[in-house]
């Protein structure tokens, strides 16, 4: 990892947790962030939308950032059940995940929708975390690099900067399965991602942009994954629901 890229450890709580469990979890992390300041990493939690407000309160005056797990591409309008990027920003969020594979699979979100959502997040002053990653069938066919390169070309807005965008590589088959690619495979994809981002944003921005790895990151594999040259942090699902595991992952950053 380059010294000019500050690692980001992001927790995606998905549709998990009620206030009784989530509030102490956020509180522990906010306290740890304060006690450990200055940390060598940024830390973010993305709770379910129902708890963003309360988690923002708990994280108040700490360095724990809060984000949304998705946002709509429009600022407002007749979109029942959806949440705009502006609404997330209004609640106190600083990030929004877009294009998570569960959104792509469950809601049929294609690259053009993901790009529009990323643009909406950026326009609202949020940092968009754009997720990409191949399915198991695509890896088995040997087309991982092509698939991820095409997703980046289609999902990352051309006007993105390293300040308002993070890209997360999450092999779909590694999410929640306990399986991960080898370190060489992760680094191969991340190196390609930086090359691809260079084509879109230019060398200066591509050098500074953070590329996260996600998919079964846990304390036991974090040191190796976070030590890879083009890995600048992690997007963590299951292990982000334990403050001890999540903190250990964060402390694995070089
Ligand atoms: C995720 O959903 O973004 C994720 C990486 O999940 P997990 O860490 O549980 O594999």
**Where do the domains of the chain lie, and which CATH numbers do they carry?**
8-251 (3.20.20.70)
Is the pLDDT assigned to residue 1 strictly greater than 60? no
Write out the two tokens for 9.
């450890």
224 vs 193: CA distance, rounded Å: 19
Question: Is position 61 annotated as part of the catalytic site?
Answer: no
| Rounded percentage of the chain residues whose pLDDT exceeds 90 | 96
Tell me the per-residue pLDDT of 209-248, one tens digit each, with 9 for 90 and over: 999 999 999 999 999 999 999 999 999 999 999 999 999 9
**Does 217 contact ligand 1 (Cβ within 6 A)?**
yes
Q: Is 245 in the pocket of ligand 1 (CB under 6 A)?
A: no
pLDDT of 138-169, one tens digit each?
999 999 999 999 999 999 999 999 999 999 99
Ligand 1 center to 234 CA (angstroms):
9
Query: Does 170 participate in catalysis according to the annotation?
Result: yes
Distance between CA atoms of 34 and 64, rounded to whole angstroms? 9
Whether residue 216 has its Cβ less than 6 Å from ligand 1 = yes
- Closest protein CA for atom 2 of ligand 1: 237
Q: Looking at residue 4, what is its pLDDT?
A: 79
64-88: per-residue pLDDT in tens? 999 999 999 999 999 999 999 999 9
Q: Hey, how many other C-beta atoms are within 10 angstroms of the C-beta on 67?
A: 25
């Amino acid at each position: 990892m380059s010294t000019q890229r500050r690692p980001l450890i992001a927790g995606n709580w998905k549709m998990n947790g009620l206030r009784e469990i989530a509030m102490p979890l956020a509180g522990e992390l906010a306290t740890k962030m304060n006690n450990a300041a200055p940390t060598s990493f940024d830390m973010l939690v993305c709770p379910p939308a129902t708890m963003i407000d309360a988690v923002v309160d708990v994280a108040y005056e700490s360095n724990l950032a809060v984000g949304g797990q998705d946002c709509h591409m429009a600022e407002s309008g007749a979109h029942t059940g959806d949440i705009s990027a502006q609404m997330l920003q209004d609640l106190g969020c600083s990030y929004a995940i877009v294009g998570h594979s569960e959104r792509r699979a469950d809601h049929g979100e294609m690259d053009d929708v993901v790009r529009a959502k990323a643009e909406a997040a950026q326009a609202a002053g949020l940092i968009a975390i754009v997720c990409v990653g191949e399915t198991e069938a695509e890896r088995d066919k040997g087309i991982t690099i092509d698939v991820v390169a095409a997703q980046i070309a289609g999902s990352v807005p051309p006007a993105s900067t390293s300040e308002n965008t993070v890209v997360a590589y999450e092999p779909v088959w590694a999410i929640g399965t306990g399986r991960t690619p080898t370190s060489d495979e992760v680094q191969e994809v991340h190196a390609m991602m930086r090359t691809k981002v260079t084509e879109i944003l230019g060398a200066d921005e591509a050098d500074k942009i953070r590329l996260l790895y996600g998919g079964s990151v846990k304390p036991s594999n974090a040191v190796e994954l976070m030590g890879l040259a083009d890995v600048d942090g992690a997007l963590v699902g299951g292990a982000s629901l334990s403050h001890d595991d999540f903190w250990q992952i964060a402390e694995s950053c070089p």
